């Protein structure tokens, strides 16, 4: 009996211990479950808070992006408007320079003309720097190659940087803007690279120093050398186109030297640096020379139609056309230009894209849709020079795309190229002109 009681007491004790352990485990499980639920709730709250914060950040990014885009559009619209009067200023100055010997300008008149050219160069530099700011100085922008007078581009860059040179007490020894060194390149990219090289030399030169520039052709290449008299650090000279501490060698906030080198290579050229025994650096910017262009101006009775609403630019184009031996007709609106194109059948049409009402793109579409005018080469003449604008112009089918302010030499080259191309509708055009 004692043994039975002892066994029963052990069983009862074990049962009680098991029940106690189960209760304890149950309480622990419930506590863990509550802790898990609380943790899951906190995690959900944290995730929701983070999601809301992310939504706020994304909304702020979208707002800032929209503001930047709006500011960029305002800046681009402003630069487009500035390019139109600048065309008149620089165009007439270029005509005066071209006719300087025949017109026998006085010394005072020549000095005044030089001041006008210098002021035009400053304005052009400001406009292009504003455009670069809008596109964030992106060196990946596509290059639109055309014939470019390299000496003239260098002269324009020097004119734009002359105030900075005077401030630092540095002399810019720039060759005269004489014709003859024509390259195939993007004129905007060319000026960006030259401006970077000359500004880099100015920034590091001591007062009283001279930054010398030379331009020459050797075979099928044209090279501009910018002689930077400042002694550069060994590390910067050893790898001038590689980033140093987050910046291109020698610093600066403009287009970097590495980006400038990539731009040059995109145009089929190169940008190199060499250091002399005294520590000065010479940057050599080389581009492919343009081949001989057909002299299409020798064609008899070449007729051009210019559609432009700015009277000053029309007056400039009339004088330029007279110098090139062209017969120029002008229209001030899109519909008037279409009527004249159908009536005259010109050899080429120069079309401003910023026309009031019916803009240049609508006029181009109407010309392409008309059998009488679809074969006439059309050249866009516009203040819209951003890469996106030029891509749009190319997609619209323009045969040439020139940005204001116009380089009259580039205009003559583009006209020569367009007029030398055969046209399928020449017989129809000749018959129509005879009837007109």
Averaged pLDDT, groups of 10, the chain, 436 residues long: 74 79 82 86 88 88 82 78 86 80 77 84 81 61 75 86 86 74 86 88 84 88 86 50 44 62 88 78 89 54 91 91 90 94 93 92 95 93 83 91 85 85 53 41
Residues 348 and 334: their CA atoms lie apart, in Å, by 16
Q: How high is the pLDDT of residue 403?
A: 87
- Residue 130 has a CB neighbour count (10 Å cut-off) of 15
Cβ(122)–Cβ(162) below 8 Å: yes
DSSP bridge pairs for 184: 147
Q: Is 200 exposed, middle or buried (0-12, 13-18, 19+ CB in 10 A)?
A: buried
Q: Is 311 exposed, middle or buried (0-12, 13-18, 19+ CB in 10 A)?
A: exposed
Cβ(244)–Cβ(236) below 8 Å: yes
Contacts of 38 (CB under 8 A, 6+ apart): none
Residues 94 and 127: their CA atoms lie apart, in Å, by 19
* Cα dist from 337 to 195, 249, 307, 350, whole Å: 38, 52, 6, 10
Residues 92 and 405: their CA atoms lie apart, in Å, by 11
Residues 97 and 159: their CA atoms lie apart, in Å, by 15
Q: How high is the pLDDT of residue 424?
A: 56
Q: How high is the pLDDT of residue 249?
A: 41
């Amino acid at each position: 009996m004692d043994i039975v009681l002892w066994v029963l007491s052990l069983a009862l004790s074990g049962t009680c211990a098991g029940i106690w352990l189960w209760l304890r485990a149950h309480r622990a499980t419930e506590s863990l479950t509550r802790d898990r639920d609380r943790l899951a709730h906190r995690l959900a709250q944290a995730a929701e808070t983070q999601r809301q914060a992310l939504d706020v950040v994304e909304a702020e990014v979208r707002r800032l992006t929209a503001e930047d885009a709006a500011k960029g559009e305002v800046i681009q619209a402003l630069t487009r408007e500035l390019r139109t009067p600048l065309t008149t200023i620089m165009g007439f100055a270029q005509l005066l320079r071209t006719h300087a010997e025949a017109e026998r300008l006085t010394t005072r008149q020549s000095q005044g003309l030089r001041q006008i050219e210098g002021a035009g160069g400053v304005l052009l530099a400001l406009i292009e720097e504003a455009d670069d700011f809008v596109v964030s100085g992106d060196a990946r922008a596509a290059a639109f190659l055309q014939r470019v007078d390299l000496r003239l581009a260098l002269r324009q860059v020097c004119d734009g940087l002359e105030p900075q040179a005077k401030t630092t007490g540095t002399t810019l020894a720039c060759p005269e803007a004489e014709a003859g060194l024509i390259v195939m390149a993007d004129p905007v990219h060319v000026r960006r690279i030259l401006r970077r090289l000359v500004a880099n030399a100015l920034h590091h030169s001591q007062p009283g120093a001279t930054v010398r520039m030379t331009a020459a052709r050797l075979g099928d290449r044209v090279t501009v050398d910018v002689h930077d008299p400042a002694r550069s650090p060994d590390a910067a000279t050893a790898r001038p186109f590689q980033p140093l501490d987050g910046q291109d060698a020698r610093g600066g906030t403009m287009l970097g030297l590495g980006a400038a080198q990539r731009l040059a290579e995109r145009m089929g050229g190169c940008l190199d640096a060499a250091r002399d025994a005294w520590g000065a650096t010479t940057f050599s910017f080389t581009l492919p020379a343009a081949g001989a262009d057909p002299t299409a101006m020798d064609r008899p009775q070449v007729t051009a139609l210019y559609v432009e609403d700015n009277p000053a630019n029309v007056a400039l184009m009339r004088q330029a056309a007279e110098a090139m031996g062209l017969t120029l007709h002008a229209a001030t609106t899109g519909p008037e230009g279409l009527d004249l194109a159908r009536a005259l059948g010109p050899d080429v049409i120069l079309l401003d894209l910023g026309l009031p009402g019916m803009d240049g793109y609508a006029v181009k579409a109407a010309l392409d849709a008309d059998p009488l005018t679809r074969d006439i080469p059309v050249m866009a003449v516009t203040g819209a020079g951003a890469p996106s604008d030029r891509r749009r112009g190319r997609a619209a089918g323009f045969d040439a795309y020139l940005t204001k302010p116009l380089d009259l030499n580039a205009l003559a080259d583009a006209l020569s190229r367009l007029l030398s191309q055969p046209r399928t509708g020449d017989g129809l055009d000749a018959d129509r002109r005879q009837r007109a």
